[in-house]
Amino acid sequence: MENNALETAVEAQIRHQITDYCETAQVPGFVAGVHHAGEQVIVAHGTANLATGAPMLADTGFLFGSVTKVLTTTLVLQQAERGRLDLDAPVVAYLPEFALAVPGAADKILVRHLISHTNGIDADLFFPDAKGRDALKTYVAGLASGCGTLFEPGEQLSYSNGGMIVAGRLLEVVTGTPFPELLEREVYAPAGMKDSSTSAEQAILRGTAVGHFPDPETMEAKVTGMFTLPDTWGPAGGTPIGTVADLLAFGRTHLAGGVSPTGERVLSAESVALMQRVSYDMEAPNTPPMGLGWVLYPFGGTTVLAMSGASPGGVSILCVVPEYDLVFTAFGNTPGALMLQDQLLQWLLRDHLGVPIPSLITEVGQDVDLTPYVGTYRSNQLRIDVTIVDGELEERTTYEPADASQERIFTEFAGGTTSAPPQRYVAIRPGLFAPAGYPLETFDGYLRLLLVSYHDVRDGRARFRNGGGRLTRRA
């Protein structure tokens, strides 16, 4: 690449921030890319795999994690354009075997609810272990006996792995094509994602990063014992793998109204705009409005289309800023790399683009009544007990595995740690709380997801707790 303004200004700053953060926070490797106004730069640093010493390079592959959800949504919109799917039709019209543990609940879920995270499927930690062509069929079959609902479809917003996986199976049924093949044919190929794959077997043929977790005793990074989640999680982000250049190409496709850098049309301009339109807004600072696939992060008057993705010991992010013709994507191979991704995003917005980033939280609340939020909240295999301690809310989170297989997969995905010490929260205002001890500016960017909110107070008791965009319901 010839020297240009983006390369000299942005590349130097990103490299400086990556180097400093990775050395102090013990992140083995990190790779980031920016495309802005026709110019592109990719910066790689450190080690892709501490077990082998392989370096992190600009073309090193990594697990997309939940960034895949935007790719899955793109596939759904393609089939809607071709007349094979109606977004406002019930899922069971195409997938009659779709059922949940609550009789009749699945019948109310529309195709649109799957990709807008408004479906209410209580399956966020449901990890059936299956592989191959029938993996998604196995997942859907398991929902009927093991997973209920959190709310009526369209009533609330809760980040939904289950909804995206059902969408993946729906795509298989209406196209007659396995999800991995459909993703490769209809998104990877036309978008110019030439180094992307859909399995560990494919990824091993090229340089690919693996995740790491901090050792509980030494806090030094150690290699994950699990590379990917089961095939059952493919459409939600369990198995797709690619490079920074590939995600930049996909992001540029959405910048250009559905036309990829190769010149092929991946999606209509109307569908691209629909994905960026607000489909549900919780009107809570910790939960940005949701489009279709995209989370719509407000930074003052500027909207950032974003999705981050956790994988075993790693985290990716993809951000598209249509107003400024910018795409940013990154991967770090420890979970703590999300903080660096947030720092880079804010630097790009504030210093590179000149976007003012207002303070999201300016002060803590005074004399907020905490009693409506006390109680036990549950979702699939997760329990959160909320009490009042020393004038603050204290939350204790307990993982309650459904069976030994679920426990094994989740434990490996979490790096061996499935419990956390109690967390204290200070009131910002009624219904909104911040983790104690954090500077308020922490929450101005992507890390606003650390805030916790409570919703639907009835008879003096909140019905839902929202943490990280996910709802748990009062037991």
Measure the CA–CA gap between 176 and 178, rounded to whole angstroms. Answer: 7
pLDDT digits (tens, 9 = 90+) for 95-128: 999 999 999 999 999 999 999 999 999 999 999 9
Closest CA to 208 of 131, 129, 127, 316: 316
Above pLDDT 70, what percent of the chain? 99
pLDDT above 90: residue 32:
yes
Above pLDDT 90, what percent of the chain? 95
Measure the CA–CA gap between 130 and 165, rounded to whole angstroms. Answer: 13
Q: What are phi and psi of 90, to 5 degrees?
A: -65, 140
Task: Report whether CATH 3.40.50.620 matches the domain 48-313+348-355.
Answer: no
In this predicted structure, what is the pLDDT of residue 4? 66
In this predicted structure, what is the pLDDT of residue 6? 64
| Residues 32, 42 contacting (CB under 8 angstroms) | yes
Instruction: Output the pTM of the full model.
Output: 0.96
In this predicted structure, what is the pLDDT of residue 7? 67
Measure the CA–CA gap between 28 and 48, rounded to whole angstroms. Answer: 7
Would you kindly state where each structural domain of the chain is located, as residue ranges? 48-313+348-355, 371-474
